[in-house]
Amino acid sequence: MTVYSSIMGERGEGWVIAQGLVLGLFVLAPGASTPWPLGALWTLLGGLLTALGSLVLLLAVSGLGRNLSPFPRPVPDGQLVTSGLYALVRHPLYTGLMLVCLGVALWTNSPARLALSAVLLWLLDGKASREEAWLQERFLEYENYRRRVGKFFPGVY
């Protein structure tokens, strides 16, 4: 067992725990007591991002099917999914979660939630990198897929 495995777990349990803690803090974070300038615009944008992120999450979960797991290590009998949303981005579940959190932060005018959304982005980027290392070990075609398809946002990152 490596030092990494003992800290983060054989399946990446540590990443899931950290993600759960950030999301728990996100839910408990307060909204702003005073609206932001152009508050109605931020509320509208937040609602749209929340709806879009929810749709992305639903499509990503549906696309993964039996390959779905909260852990970054691929399921033992899983297959590499490269169709549907996975043809556009490698981690649409994470993209959807980020969009929902950013949307809720804007919708509720919450600087605390906005900051936690940034922490979540950083955490999911690390979790995705760990997941990709395991996918690369497991699937020979992953490297070509990784080169063709963006990590979270098509054509951006």
Domain boundaries, the chain: 37-148
Per-residue pLDDT at 132: 96
**What is the C-alpha to C-alpha distance for residues 101 and 114, in angstroms, rounded to an integer?**
8
Tell me the CA distances in angstroms from 125 to 10, 69, 128, 140, 146, one per residue in order.
19, 17, 5, 22, 14
Per-residue pLDDT tens digits for 103-142: 999 999 999 999 999 999 999 999 999 999 999 999 999 9
Per-residue pLDDT at 155: 82
**CA dihedral for 137, 139, 144, 150, sign (positive or negative):** negative
**What is the C-alpha to C-alpha distance for residues 54 and 147, in angstroms, rounded to an integer?**
27
How many residues are listed for the chain in this entry?
157
Query: Which candidate, 114, 59, 69, 111, places its Cα nearest to that of 89?
Result: 59
Per-residue pLDDT at 34: 76
Per-residue pLDDT at 46: 96
Give yes or no for a contact between 16 and 73, defined as CB atoms under 8 angstroms apart: no
Q: 125 — alpha (psi -120 to 50), left (phi > 0) or beta?
A: alpha
- What are φ and ψ of residue 133, in 5° steps? -65, -40
Per-residue pLDDT at 15: 94
What is the full per-residue pLDDT of the chain (157 aa) written as tens digits? 454 555 788 889 999 999 999 999 999 999 877 777 888 899 999 999 999 999 999 999 999 999 999 999 999 999 999 999 999 999 999 999 999 999 999 999 999 999 999 999 999 999 999 999 999 999 999 999 999 999 999 988 8
Per-residue pLDDT at 157: 84
**What is the C-alpha to C-alpha distance for residues 53 and 50, in angstroms, rounded to an integer?**
5
